[in-house]
Structure 1
């Protein structure tokens, strides 16, 4: 189950100041609102809402903010969000997947295209780069929450987990999309709450970039992440040890 950790490469490491935290909370509110509107406003009856709340708690979102987001979903504020995914290339042939949640697709695609263009990238047609990624269920768990990792690993295998990787004090559990519910239920059974869980694009082909090209790619990824309509950004940059300071 263990193996070389790729998570340090595909996650953008940024300090979270107040402005950044506010943006994170805004994205979480969107997910909670959409989840509540897609089914019951009662978490026990709505797996997607339960997951959204779990992720919000993992990001230390205040309880009252979570409750307001659920309450907002039962109202009529005129906002109907759609989930859309865009694919593009950055410089050096780096593949980038951009997952958005928007109430106006025309605005969002224009903004995403403009960001790619500004930093030397290009927005591509759907399907252009998905073959470079695997779409998997991923659970992130603090390593300290696991008392016996061997027993924990065996239980996960029985639940359908494909891999368990350690990265900087966190365990990343990966499984097929259809096994998401079984792994989630197993974690609930052993009383372990992930800091985050959901479906993610995991690259299986990485691209090495030069020290000269990397800063521009970082700016592209940061600009995409800073857009209000963007929920998540995935890429296949292979960060070398000497480049960690830049990243």
Structure 2
């Protein structure tokens, strides 16, 4: 019996990277996991297949968060699988904007906030009736809200708004015993960073040097932090950020 046996979880943006690792970990802990994806159906099916091969339970739900109608699509996908109660919500879906202020166009700014902030806000609001007392909400933010990140200023701003959302929502939902927390990754070895990180010894050494623990983060490092907050052991932690950067820029 896993920690989350009998529970249902939704992980947004779960077809790859950190989201996939979180989905696999929550399923390994016993949860039935809804694997949300935006466009890559093949990757989502691969995530579900990997979970099932390991003895877990999962299903894929398509919804391109940030696009018109996406939240309705996601709710319909949950309904189609008979999911009316959601014990764990992990808001992981997001997009980057690795450019300084001079290169941030209004369209890019709006797109980043539409996905990283607005969609997260309204999806969570829409799901609140399905989250029972003592449920868990975990938002994936970024170490860039603690560490100056001018080369991705709009992205960092969008996640800073999520940090504030988490703080306020934790207070709001506290009477119901629902915890709301952030997990903030640093540099993680995912396909998002593959172009500049993988196979480049100099880049990897630089990335590792920024962390007090001396290596680049892995998706399962972040998944472990999420799993703690989703578990019974995380029952007395709310309204805060678990820094999962490996001690970057301490």
Query: Normalised by the shorter chain, which TM-score bucket?
Result: under 0.3
Instruction: Work out which structure has the larger RCO, using CA pairs closer than 8 Å and 6 or more positions apart in sequence.
Output: 1
Q: How does the TM-score come out when normalised to structure 2?
A: 0.26
Query: Which structure: larger Rg?
Result: 1
